[in-house]
Amino acid sequence: MSPRVSLATSHARRGRFAAAAAALGNTLGRVPLAAEALPIAGAFVCSLLLYGRIAGVAVEPGWRALAGLASFFLLFVQLRLIDDLDDLERDYPTGHALLARREARRTRVVASLATSALLLVALNTGMGHARTAAAAATALAFAAPFVFKRLLPSRPLACFPAFEGAPFAIFMYGYFLWRDMAGRELSLYVVMCVAGSMWAGYEFWKFSRKVGTTALQPYHLSARGIRVALNFLLILALGLNVSLSRLAGLSQTYAIYAATLPLVWLVWLNASWPGPASRPGRPRWAGTRFIVAVELGLLAEILLK
């Protein structure tokens, strides 16, 4: 084979590989919450490790842990799909031009929800507590927009327990999966602290991800309302992090880190809160950075000791 032919073949292979990688990236990018997959996986792993540490039972990696991780991510994808289903009327207003697109979108979302439900049943076969927890989280996720929101259309904040209870129920799924795996129980206080710590990070992401943009804020809150909510979530995270460090017998170094991190975010948030003259764009403290910092600290403390 001549050098030119060999070089052309090599370039063609690289071109095909690049095209395949780009296609895979585009496909994954269209998966709901693809950008948040690592923080979601981190929350699941941290939860199992904390339950095991507190109970004194090592977490055994295996098919049930992998099935639980897949279920955990699916529950969040399902939450996003339910939100998409609820937003169809807003995204595709009444009109002949948009009616067909709206119905096509509805069909795809409903099919995706049905598929996720079947997968959840299959993944949690033989794990009664986990299956029940997944069903409860699914039921609450549907009830929030299609029951509570319909009953209280003019009072969005009254629906807060349902809408934010759904992700909390997903974080509770991690405990019930661990219970099926370990065959042990933990006190309600322990479970609430672990699930609550992960939930506080999730809520911080939810309420901060649109700060500095013109997008509609959660519950139609004003900038001041969002700021108050974020400050409350960081204070809650501070209390939960310190409680967890004591419950799990974590080091004093980690306890200092767990207490300092929310305080740093509190100062950072309030010192750089976007004002009327600020440049558009999300601040650096917003999004998943806080929960990722929490998870990295926990993983380093538990796995490297």
Maximum Cα interatomic distance, the chain, rounded to a whole number of Å: 75
Write the single-letter amino acid at 28: L
Residue 294's contacts (CB-CB under 8 Å, 6 or more residues apart) are 46, 197, 201, 237, 241, 258, 261
In this prediction, residue 102 carries a pLDDT of: 78
What kind and span of H or E run contains 251?
A: none
In this prediction, residue 43 carries a pLDDT of: 96
Spatial separation of the C-alpha atoms in residues 91 and 80, rounded to whole Å: 15
Q: How far is CA 239 from CA 39, 136, 206, 243, 258, in A?
A: 21, 27, 20, 6, 9
Question: What residue spans define the domains of the chain?
Answer: 56-185, 187-305
Q: How long is the chain?
A: 305
Domain 187-305 sits in CATH at 1.20.120
Spatial separation of the C-alpha atoms in residues 278 and 107, rounded to whole Å: 42
Alpha helices by DSSP H, listed for the chain, are 3-30, 37-55, 63-86, 88-91, 96-123, 128-143, 149-151, 160-182, 188-208, 223-247, 252-271, 289-303
In this prediction, residue 142 carries a pLDDT of: 95
- What is the chain's pLDDT, residue by residue, as a tens digit (305 residues)? 555 544 445 555 565 555 544 544 444 445 556 678 899 999 999 999 999 999 998 888 889 999 999 999 999 999 999 998 888 877 777 666 677 787 888 889 999 999 999 999 999 999 999 999 999 999 999 999 999 988 887 788 888 899 999 999 999 999 999 999 999 999 999 999 999 999 999 999 999 998 877 777 788 888 899 999 999 999 999 999 999 999 999 999 999 999 999 999 999 999 999 866 567 778 999 999 999 999 999 999 998 86
